[in-house]
Amino acid sequence: MKNLQPILDRAQQVLKTHQLDHPGEYARWIWQNQEGTRQLGLNEYGCADAANILYMLGAFPADAAERASWVQTLQNLQHPDTGLFVEATHHTFHTTAHCIAALELFEAKAIYPLKAMQPYLEKSNLYRLLDELPWAESPWTASHQGAGIYAALVLQGEADLTWQGWYFDWLYENADPATGFWRKGYVIPTHQGDSFSGILKEATVFPHLASSFHYLFNHEYAHRPLRYPEKMIDTCLDIYRGHRWPTLGHAVSFAEIDWVYCLNRALRQSGYRFADCKSALHDFAEEYIEYLEGLDPATHDGFNDLHTLFGCICALSELQAALPGELSSDKPLKLVLDRRPFI
């Protein structure tokens, strides 16, 4: 059995270095990048991801006054005129869903209505939004809108069950029968990554996996079926065994949770190629944990960014659940996605 605790202890130490003056106030980064573009100091993702990480580590704040400070800090980041949360590195729908999801951990909500999202409560506007996303050119970043609209409106209590039915009906009809991803007719290799990876040297189907991950966790939250889980498994295994994302398992990023979650959750829904899936997850876990054990959190930029560190802890949490008896920690990790959608 592999012990994850040394890695988790490092993560908790990193959180302490990012904490600011009051409970719930966190920086996302504590050192600048070469371009000088980082928003140092209080940051939406710093606050939200500190809460996410502490929840998963079993170290979530319990004191009532401390929890109230966390909630107030997150709520104060909302723009009252639009209802959105805004941060430079992500689409506003992503940041809004991310902060509202963090508030849900405290059983709280944003203060102001999500005015900028409310037009999409109409079916025609929702379908127009989904139809017009750049599914072929930039699926990864587009999913921040297509998945964020669901998580934010549902967690805020502004979308009813009828609206959720429209949302999942569209996704069911537009699932790709060849890969199991979204959207059918558009899942072709692309050079466009996300805000971290940017433009890729070689075209790959991986951004479509990373995009589909966002729609998949909405399905999991709502207990909705995948249309083609077997095809999703085939594609996930091909991506891993074919090395179609070169840094997979060798980075502190979201790519790892994207792949692990898609493979493991599709397996839960089908049982297809069970032995192949478990073997791939086992091999990946060994490779990934060995990589993480060799990093210095005091100097590694992936640990400096609480958002990518959060993605790393998510991957370890899903791996621990997917491989019973193989990965230990002082407290079992709790994936935030098993409580509510969106990361």
Q: Convert the pLDDT of each residue in 247-279 to its tens digit.
A: 999 999 999 999 999 999 999 999 999 999 999
185-194: pLDDT as tens digits: 999 988 777 7
pLDDT more than 70, % of the chain = 99
Confidence of residue 200 (pLDDT cuts 50, 70, 90): confident
pTM above 0.95, yes or no: yes
Assess whether pLDDT exceeds 90 at residue 243: yes
HEC readout, the chain = CEECHHHHHHHHHHHHHHECCCCCCEECCCCCCCCCCCCCCECHHHHHHHHHHHHHHCCCCCCHHHHHHHHHHHHCCECCCCCCECCCCCCHHHHHHHHHHHHHHCCCCCCCCCCCCHHHHCHHHHHHHHHCCCCCCCHHHHHHHHHHHHHHHHHCCCCCHHHHHHHHHHHHHCECCCCCCECCCCCCCEEECCCCCCEEEEEECHHHHHHHHHHHHHHHHHCCCCCCHHHHHHHHHHHHHCCCCCCCCCCCCCHHHHHHHHHHHHHHHHCCCHHHHHHHHHHHHHHHHHHHHCCCCCCCHHHHCHHHHHHHHHHHHHHHHHCCCCEECCCCCCCHHHCCCCC
What are the chain's domains? 2-338 (1.50.10)
